[in-house]
Amino acid sequence: MPTESDTHYDPSLGNKFIFVTGGVMSGLGKGITAASTGRLLKNAGFDVTAVKIDPYLNVDAGTMNPYQHGEVYVLEDGGEVDLDLGNYERFLDVDMTSDHNITTGKTYQHVIEKERAGDYLGKTVQIIPHITDDIKRRIREAAEGTDVCIVEVGGTVGDIEGMPYLEALRQFAHEEPEENVLFAHVTLVPYSKNGEQKTKPTQHSVKEVRSIGLQPDVIVGRCEDRLDPETKEKIALFCDIPTEAVFSNPDVEDVYHVPLMVEEEGLDQYVLEHFGLDDEALPAGERSNEWREIVTSEKSGTVDVALVGKYDLEDAYMSIHESLKHAGFEVGVDVDVHWVPADEMADEYDDQLEAVDGIIVPGGFGMRGSEGKIRAVQYARENDVPFLGLCLGFQMAVVEYARNVLGLEGAHSAEMDEDTPHPVIDILPEQYEVEDMGGTMRLGEHTTVIEPETLAYDLYGDTSCSERHRHRYEVNPEYFDRFEDEPLVFSGTAGNRMEILELETHPYFLGTQFHPEYTSRPGQPSPPFLGLVEAALEQSEDEAASAETDSDTDADTETEVTH
C-alpha cells in the first residue's frame, strides 16, 4: 500500500463533514440545500465552510459558456469558479478561495505534474490511491480551521465522471469516526398525474448510492410541496433510514427562504444530534435571527430594472439578480428584473426601456450585443434613467460618451473592433503576450482609490474600496486628456487604471471596471447596487407623483369645460 509520503495525504486533519450528493436529475438545488444547512449551523454558533466538487475536466470555470453552467463567479483570490460558490459566500457570509472548488482538471493536473517531477519515485500512478487521496487532501485542507465543512458533489450519482469522488468519500468515511461524517442525499419526489407523490425515483437513486458503498444518513426530498407523512415513511422503509431522517425541501418563493423551511423541518437539529454537537450549540433562543429578519422584511413597493445582456438565462447573471435583491431588502422594495436582449437593442430600444426605473449593462465578452449595450447606455444618459454599468458595461459607457459627446466617430473597444480609429478601450499591457485563455485575465480583489466629493465616495463612504475584477481590457490612457473637462469623470482609479466613472449632471450614472456584485450579501448590499435601487425608487416615486399631477390637471380641465 502507498504511504502518506507517496500521496501527500494527511488523514489526521479532522472536522465534522457533511457530504451532499444528488440523485434523479441535476439542477435540483443541492447547493441551496447545502448552503441553507450551513446557514443554520452558523446561526447555532459554529464556524462553517463549504467545498464544491465539479467533476468536469476543466481546470476551472473561467472558459465555460454561461449557457451551460451559469455565471462564472470570481473569488477574492481570483479563482474563477462555479456559481454555487457564490451561494455559499452569500449564505454563509464568508470569503472563499480557489481551494474550495475541486475540479477533475485541477486534481488530475496536479497529480500528473507530480508524476512528471518524479515525486512518486517510479510507482504506478493510479486513480486509487493517488487521485482519491488528492481529493481527500483537498477537502481536508479546505476545511482546516472550521467546525463543519459541507462538501457538495456536483452532477448526479451514477455519472461516470463522478465515480472517483464518490470512492474518495467512501474512503473518507472509513477513515473518520462515524459521528464526524454525515451523508445527505438530495433527490426528486415528483407527482404522478393523479397527484400522488412518487418515491420510486428516490428508491432507485439511493440504490445507486448504496451500490457505490455509501449509505445516506439523511434524504432531502425536492418536491413542489412538503412531503406527505406516508411519503416520508415509504422513503425511510425502502432506503433504510429512520423516518425522522427524511426531510422536505418544497418550492419556495425565494431561495433565501429555504433556510427557514429546512429549519421548520428540523434538519439542522438532526445534523447537530448526529454530530454530537447539540450540547455545544447555542440554545435556540440565543441563535442569530438576523437572516430571518432580513429575508422576511416588509416591502412597501416595487421598482423595475432592465438588465441589458445577451444571455436570456437568470443563472448567467445570478450575482446581479441577487445584488439587486439585497439592495431591495435594505430599501424595503421588491426589485423586478426585466431581461432586455442586447442584440435587439440596436434596432429598437426605447419601447423596452421607457417603462423601467433603472438600467444595468452587465459584464461580458465578445462583439455580440455590444451595439445594443451602447444604445442602452445612450438612452439612460439622455433620459436621466438611473444607470449602472459593470465591467463591459463600464467600457461601453466610455465608448458611448466618446462617440456621442466627444465626437470621436467610430470609437470602440479594441476587443470588438481591432481597426477602430479611436480605441478608447484597449487591451491591458500585461495581456499582450498572453496565449492561454484560462486564468490569465486581471482577476480577483484589487484596491480602487476614490476621489472625495463624488458619487462613488458617497456610496462607499471612504476614499478606497476593494472589489473583484475579471477583465482583459481597460480605458486607453491615450484618451485620458479628452475627458479632463467633461461632466463624465473617473472618480475611482488604480494607478493609471480607470476603475469608476460617473456623470456629474445625471441623477445616477455609475460605471465600475470591477464587479461589485460578487461581494454583495443579504444585510450587506453592494454600494453601487444600493445606490441604483435608491435612485430607481426615487425615479418611480417622481413618475407616480407626476402622473397623479397630470391626472388632477386633466380633471380640473374637464371640470372647467363642463361649467
pLDDT given for residue 331 in this prediction? 96
**pTM attached to this predicted model:** 0.91
Question: Is residue 90 part of an annotated ligand binding site?
Answer: no
The three-state DSSP-derived secondary structure of 42-95 is HHCCCCEEEEEEECCCCCCCCCCCHHHHCCCEECCCCCEECCHHHHHHHHHCCC
pLDDT digits (tens, 9 = 90+) for 392-415: 999 999 999 999 999 999 999 999
Catalytic residue among 263, 467, 517, 534: 517
pLDDT given for residue 346 in this prediction? 61
Question: Is residue 398 part of an annotated ligand binding site?
Answer: no
Helices 318-331 & 527-562, crossing angle to 10 degrees?
60
- pLDDT at residue 4 tops 60: no
| pLDDT interval class at 539 (50, 70, 90) | confident
DSSP classification of residue 534: H
- pLDDT at residue 439 tops 80: no
517 is catalytic: yes
Burial class (CB in 10 A: 0-12, 13-18, 19+), 416: buried
Question: Is residue 200 part of an annotated ligand binding site?
Answer: yes
Q: Which element (helix H / strand E) includes 285? A: none
**Does residue 181 sit in helix, strand or coil?**
strand
Alpha carbon separation from 298 to 36, 219, 368, 459 (Å, rounded): 22, 33, 40, 24
Question: Is residue 393 part of an annotated ligand binding site?
Answer: yes
Residues 6+ apart with CB under 8 A from 315: 66, 69, 70, 71, 83
Catalytic residue among 412, 422, 446, 515: 515
Question: Is residue 32 part of an annotated ligand binding site?
Answer: yes
Question: Is residue 234 part of an annotated ligand binding site?
Answer: yes
Catalytic residue among 208, 391, 465, 471: 391
Question: Is residue 299 part of an annotated ligand binding site?
Answer: no
| pLDDT interval class at 14 (50, 70, 90) | low
Question: Is residue 221 part of an annotated ligand binding site?
Answer: no
Range of lowest pLDDT (46-50, 110-114, 344-348, 479-483): 344-348
pLDDT given for residue 207 in this prediction? 95
Residue linked to cell 467545498:
51
| pLDDT interval class at 3 (50, 70, 90) | very low
Question: Is residue 518 part of an annotated ligand binding site?
Answer: no
Question: Is residue 45 part of an annotated ligand binding site?
Answer: no
Q: Dihedral, CA atoms, 261, 262, 263, 267, nearest 10 degrees?
A: 160
- Arithmetic mean of pLDDT over the chain: 91
Q: Report which of residues 486 and 488 the model is more confident about.
A: 488
515 is catalytic: yes
Residue linked to cell 463600464:
394
pLDDT digits (tens, 9 = 90+) for 28-62: 889 999 999 999 999 999 999 999 999 999 988 88
pLDDT given for residue 13 in this prediction? 54
Range of lowest pLDDT (12-21, 332-341, 357-366, 434-443): 434-443
Question: Is residue 364 part of an annotated ligand binding site?
Answer: yes
pLDDT digits (tens, 9 = 90+) for 289-340: 999 999 999 999 999 999 999 887 888 999 999 999 999 999 999 999 999 9
Percent with pLDDT over 70 in the chain: 92
Question: Is residue 106 part of an annotated ligand binding site?
Answer: no
Percent with pLDDT over 90 in the chain: 78
Q: Report which of residues 328 and 557 the model is more confident about.
A: 328
Q: Which element (helix H / strand E) includes 341? A: strand 334-341
Question: How far is it, in rounded angstroms, from Cα 324 to Cα 357?
Answer: 13
| For range 244-255, the mean pLDDT | 94
| pLDDT interval class at 131 (50, 70, 90) | very high
